[in-house]
Homo-oligomer: A and B are copies of this chain.
């Protein structure tokens, strides 16, 4: 299905470019409170699923076994920027679990933190797997395997117990069966399971409330929420939208971005989970939609998004970025 237009970019009197997509706002029991577009077909949540992939890290007892706390949980839930504090945090986490960075199967990419990139260019150093935005999640997977005396070798493969536990946690919390047709390999080489936006939003509603969960899982959810709000700079990085939002709305909003235009999150004090995906994968559009969505219930969040006035290289206004009619109508229905 082709989704409705959520975001339009104008230049002069015309719409120059547009972004279609879908949004779901759902309660923990699965009731859809508001939506736009196709929320029933499977999409890949990518890194937006990390806070839920972290469940077995807590539920297995690995966090407590190695004396980890909120910082390590936040790193497990995060897509970090590869800055010094992130690399130091993951390094300490691996050491705490008796693991080495050479065991990380995420690959390497240039850090997202611009200052760190400049520093690496000046010192002529190359990024390592520790700089990969997923290295905290991978460290948590390695720690879980080590704690349970499972082989750490191949922890990233779909059939490894570490991944099977995650798949089970995702089936439980989304309410959907995740069969082989839903399997994708993520940018960091671990399985990423396609699920309907309604399911992703429902899982976040569960994470926000613990509703309908066994006490151990509800407690794990509580610790994940507390960790993300205690260390929003480890879930993203300086200036990252998820970091800004959770710095401004601790206790109220949980949010996580994913590649290809995905966001998942929750209005925690309202018991509502949300999820969105831009059809074309554009980050500028997913960021604009999540800011509009969160601003609907928390108007001060509007300032956290990029300027809706589009300026050129000399600072002249050339157009604007605005909600399309379908998004505006959906936001009207959300109160």
Contact = CB atoms under 8 A, between A and B. Distances in A.
Given A9-B281, A282-B282, A318-B185, A16 B260 contact: yes
A187 interface: yes
A84 interface: no
Contacts of A185: 11-12, 312, 316, 318
A238 B24 CA distance: 44
Nearest to A280: B280
Interface stretch (A104-112, A164-172, A208-216, A217-225): A104-112
Nearest to A11: B184
B312 A188 contact: yes
Contacts of A11: 44, 184-185, 192, 194
B12 A183 contact: yes
A308 interface: no
Nearest to A193: B12
A133 to B, nearest CB: 10
Contacts of A13: 181, 183
B282 A184 contact: no
Interface residues of A, number: 50
Interface in A1-41: 2, 5, 9, 11-14, 16-20
Contacts of A260: 9, 16-17
A318 B187 contact: yes
B14 A184 contact: yes
B18 A280 contact: yes
Contacts of A192: 11
Interface in A253-282: 260-261, 278-282
Contacts of A281: 9, 16-17, 282
Identify the interface centre among A18, A184, A312, A313: most chain B CB within 10 Å of its CB.
A313
Contacts of A282: 280-282
13 contacts: A12-B182, A12-B184, A16-B184, A17-B280, A18-B279, A20-B280, A107-B313, A121-B122, A122-B122, A185-B312, A187-B312, A188-B313, A282-B282
Given A13-B181, A187-B318, 15 more contacts: A12-B182, A12-B184, A13-B183, A14-B42, A14-B181, A14-B194, A16-B44, A17-B260, A17-B261, A18-B280, A106-B314, A118-B121, A184-B319, A188-B314, A280-B285
